[in-house]
């Protein structure tokens, strides 16, 4: 934390896009510390879901590393194939289910 700005480092693998994770983290931080005016990453490469791995000597592209978490049941791949943004899915989408406005206690999957 540097004054009203916060610098984050994204490490590990995430099911959602890394840009979405940064947005979720920024919203969470702003809810806890309203004085924050900016949340950012030091290195823009951290926001990319894939990383090119090159040979040290020839700089030839060896492979592309997927920095996303495994898609254990195929949901993400299926939604991307159907043109649905996987980051908008989830069991707790805003305004559905529970006691949220417009929600119902019964959510028929």
pLDDT at 91: 47
DSSP 42-85: S-GGGG-SEEEEE-TTT--EEEEEE-BPP-TTSHHHHHHHTT--
pLDDT in tens, 30-77: 888 889 889 999 888 889 999 999 999 999 999 999 888 888 777 888
Task: Write down the mean pLDDT value for the chain.
Answer: 80
pLDDT at 92: 46
Tell me the CB-side half-sphere exposure of residue 32, using CA atoms within 13 A: 7
DSSP state of 53: E
Tell me the percentage of the chain whose pLDDT exceeds 70: 79
Say what the pTM is. 0.66
pLDDT at 109: 44
3-state class of 19 per DSSP? helix
pLDDT at 71: 80
Band of the pLDDT at 90, cuts 50, 70, 90? low
pLDDT at 75: 81
pLDDT in tens, 95-104: 544 555 555 4
């Amino acid at each position: 934390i540097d004054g009203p700005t916060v610098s984050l480092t994204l490490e590990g693998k995430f099911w959602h896009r890394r840009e979405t994770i940064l947005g979720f983290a920024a919203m969470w931080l702003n809810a806890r510390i309203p004085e924050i005016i900016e949340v950012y990453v030091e290195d823009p490469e951290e926001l990319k879901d894939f990383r090119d791995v090159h040979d040290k000597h020839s700089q030839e592209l060896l492979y592309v590393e997927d920095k996303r978490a495994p898609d254990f049941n195929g949901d993400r791949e299926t939604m991307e194939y159907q043109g649905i943004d996987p980051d908008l899915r989830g069991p707790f989408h805003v305004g559905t289910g529970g006691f949220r406005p417009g929600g119902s206690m019964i959510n028929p999957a």
